[in-house]
């Protein structure tokens, strides 16, 4: 009988462990390991920008706009659900994305402290050095402002659990999932235009395991009860940091899609274009003048797009898509190589398209 009870108890324990594995959580690491590593890898290895100098950006604020309080059972909590200093994560992400080759951040969160300190230095120099006081270097301005905030925090979007007891001995598992949402937008300082906006979400997972045992002895007059448990909550601060890094990566990708900036080309050296060479025969000995080869003038032909199509940077479908143009777009076309046609528009867009999407007649 005792062996049967022990065996059934082991089954109950193992079934509870299987539930933990199905949620993607473990007691040693409550986050989804693959997602964490994927975000970190893309954050570090995103291609460098085509520009040799990082773009100067400013961050004035990155606030908690959720209005959510930390969830507590039967208690009115005054603590917020997410961090109030998320601008630190945004500044760090902008500085470190792509190994620091994309952005350089100028101080704007503490701009009052910075201007006060510069004023003190200027006054002290003038007091001790007079009119010959060495001026401070001018402050660097930003070409783009990064704005946004934490716009959502939804608790218990998914929850569940399972358990089993045999003869009063068993184990149960419960898990819940929260979601934090972050939005970023890039604003041009020159025009005030919102260049692009992105929003990303990050899950926050929590799990609780417990094991209980309840036995009665002496004809039910005496009872033995034991309980043990472990609860693991994924840190909300880490989720905000990871979501901020994801948002910065998506902001860069959106800028490439909109043609605001480009990735740096690091592929193999471009092959030289093969041109037809016309060899003229040598002149006869009796000819008074030597024959000279004649170069054919370049012929520019106008074609149109038969359908919506991308314009590629190179004559290869795996190369970067630089433009997406609509049906009827007019092109000046150049030579055709391996089914690819070099094209250019009146406003300076250049690249390559497949020959089959072009037609000499306007659709």
The SS3 of residue 296 is coil
Return the CATH fold of 301-359: SH3 type barrels. (2.30.30)
pLDDT of residue 267: 58
Find, among 282, 280, 275, the residue nearest to 293 by Cα.
280
Per the structure block, which two tokens stand in for 173? 């598992």
Q: For position 72, what pLDDT does the model report?
A: 64
The residue among 247, 240, 242 whose CA lies nearest residue 186 is: 247
Domain limits, CATH 2.30.30.40, in the chain: 301-359
Answer for the pair 319, 313: CB distance below 8 angstroms, yes or no: yes
| Intervals of CATH 3.40.50.10610 along the chain | 2-257
Please state, in angstroms and rounded to a whole number, the distance separating the CA atoms of residues 232 and 346: 61
What was the pLDDT predicted at 96?
92
Mean pLDDT by 10 residues, the chain (363 residues): 50 47 42 53 86 92 82 64 87 92 93 93 89 88 93 82 82 87 94 93 85 77 81 83 92 92 72 47 50 46 81 80 80 80 81 83 78
Kindly report the backbone phi and psi dihedral angles of residue 205, in degrees, each rounded to the nearest multiple of 5, phi listed first.
-110, 145
Tell me: domain 2-257, CATH 3.40.50.10610, correct? yes
DSSP calls for 20-70: HHHTT--SS--S-HHHHHHHHHHHHHSPPBSSSSPEEEE----EE-S--B-
- Beta carbons of 156 and 203 less than 8 angstroms apart: no
Q: How far apart are CA 215 and CA 362, in angstroms?
A: 87
Q: What is the distance, to the nearest Å, from the Cα of residue 45 to the centroid of all Cα atoms in its chain?
A: 11
Torsion angle, alpha carbons of 43, 45, 46, 48, to 10: 130
Structure confidence at residue 154 (pLDDT)? 82
Burial class (CB in 10 A: 0-12, 13-18, 19+), 129: exposed
Count CB atoms within 10 A of the CB of residue 71. Answer: 14
Contact 236, 71 (CB under 8 A): no
Query: CB of 184 within 8 A of CB of 251?
Result: yes
- What is the per-residue DSSP string for 209-269? EEEEEEEEETTTTEEEEEEEEEEEE--HHHHHHHHHHHHHHHHHHHHHHTTSS-BPP-SSP
Using an 8 Å Cβ cutoff, are 100 and 91 in contact? no
């Amino acid at each position: 009988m005792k062996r049967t009870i022990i065996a059934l108890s082991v089954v109950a324990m193992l079934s509870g462990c299987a539930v933990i594995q199905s949620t993607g959580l473990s007691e040693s690491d409550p986050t989804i390991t693959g997602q964490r590593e994927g975000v970190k890898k893309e954050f570090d290895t995103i291609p460098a920008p085509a520009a040799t100098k990082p773009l100067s950006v400013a961050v004035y604020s990155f606030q908690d706009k959720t209005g959510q309080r930390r969830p507590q059972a039967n208690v009115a909590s005054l603590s917020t659900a997410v961090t109030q200093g998320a601008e630190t994560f945004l500044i760090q992400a902008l500085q470190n994305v792509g190994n620091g080759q994309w952005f350089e951040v100028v101080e704007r969160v503490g701009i009052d402290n910075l201007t006060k300190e510069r004023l003190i230095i200027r006054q002290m120099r003038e007091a001790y050095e007079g009119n010959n006081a060495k001026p401070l270097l001018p402050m660097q301005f930003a070409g783009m402002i990064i704005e946004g905030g934490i716009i959502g925090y939804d608790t218990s979007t998914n929850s569940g659990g399972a358990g089993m007891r045999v003869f009063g001995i068993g184990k149960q598992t419960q898990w819940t999932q929260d979601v934090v949402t972050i939005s970023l937008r890039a604003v041009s300082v020159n025009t005030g235009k919102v260049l692009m906006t992105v929003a990303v979400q990050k899950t926050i997972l929590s799990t609780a395991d417990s094991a209980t045992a309840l036995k009665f002895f002496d004809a039910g007059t005496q009872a033995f009860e034991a309980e043990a448990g472990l609860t693991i909550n994924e840190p909300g601060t880490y989720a905000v940091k990871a979501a901020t890094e994801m948002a910065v990566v998506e902001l860069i990708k959106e800028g490439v899609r909109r043609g605001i900036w480009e990735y740096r080309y690091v592929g193999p050296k471009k092959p030289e274009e093969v041109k037809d060479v016309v060899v003229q025969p040598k002149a006869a000995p009796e000819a008074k003048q030597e024959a000279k080869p004649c170069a054919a003038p370049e012929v520019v032909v106008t074609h149109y797009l038969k359908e919506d199509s991308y314009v590629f940077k190179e004559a290869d479908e795996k190369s970067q898509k630089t433009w997406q143009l609509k049906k009827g777009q007019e092109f000046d076309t150049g030579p055709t190589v391996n089914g690819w046609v070099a094209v250019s528009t009146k406003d300076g867009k250049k690249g390559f398209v497949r020959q089959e999407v072009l037609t000499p007649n306007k659709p």
